[in-house]
Amino acid sequence: MRKLLGRYVSAEEVEQITEPVNVFDQEDFEEEVERVTGSPASKADAIAHRVKRRASERMDEDPALYKKLSEMVQEAIAAFRDERIDEIEYLQRAKALEEQLEDGVSSGMPRRVQGRPAARAYYGLVEEQVRDEDSDGDMPDLTQEELADAGIRIEEIIDDLKVVDWKQNPDVEKKMRNEVEDLLYLDLGFPLDAVQEVLDRVIQVARSRD
């Protein structure tokens, strides 16, 4: 078969059917989806995979949010493939998740952190730790508003201590860790093992956002 293809099948040049599309440009992407796709399922697939790609690209900036959105996209894809939802509902879900991605929100997120990307990211880390089903049961019982307060306070701590080239300054990072640790352990009642896990993730997010 390989010999036959090599002998009788040839291509002199590549014919470009569509212009390259920047999937990170919302307007261009939507126009291309409408132009080249046919069924609602095809459009939903294009949107769903765009959301997954963008969530993956932004994961370090807000791990909790983009992980949740990626999981919800995968659930929508699986539900359609398993015929638990039809293609119209699949498209509706994909569009709704795309809107959440663009707005930087997810269901249940307090409004106070929705317009503050850094606070939103820290809120997500703390909320994820508190709601972790694998925790040993020593986590404090905090409301969504208390978690939002924690996210905003962590943002303020990080911003107050930032200096030029702080990522190369271990003393600054140490001060950040100490103040966030006091907030989590003394004010919120986190157990020490959970404090350390959140601290590492907070610094990682701070570095990725700066």
Q: How confident is the model at residue 37 (pLDDT cuts 50, 70, 90)?
A: low
3 state SS for 7-40: HHCCCCCCCCCCCCCCCCCHHHHHHHHHHHCCCH
Pick the more confident residue, 30 or 181: 181
What's the mean pLDDT in 25-49? Answer: 74
Give me the pLDDT at residue 38, please: 76
**Which residues neighbour 47 within 8 Å (Cβ) at sequence distance 6 or greater?**
33, 91, 94, 95, 97, 98
In the chain, what are the domain boundaries?
A: 26-103, 113-209
Token output for 75: 């659930």
Tens of pLDDT, residues 146-174:
999 999 999 999 999 999 999 999 999 99
Task: Please name which of 32, 31, 37, 74 lies closest in space to residue 55, comparing C-alpha atoms.
Answer: 74
Q: Structure pTM?
A: 0.79
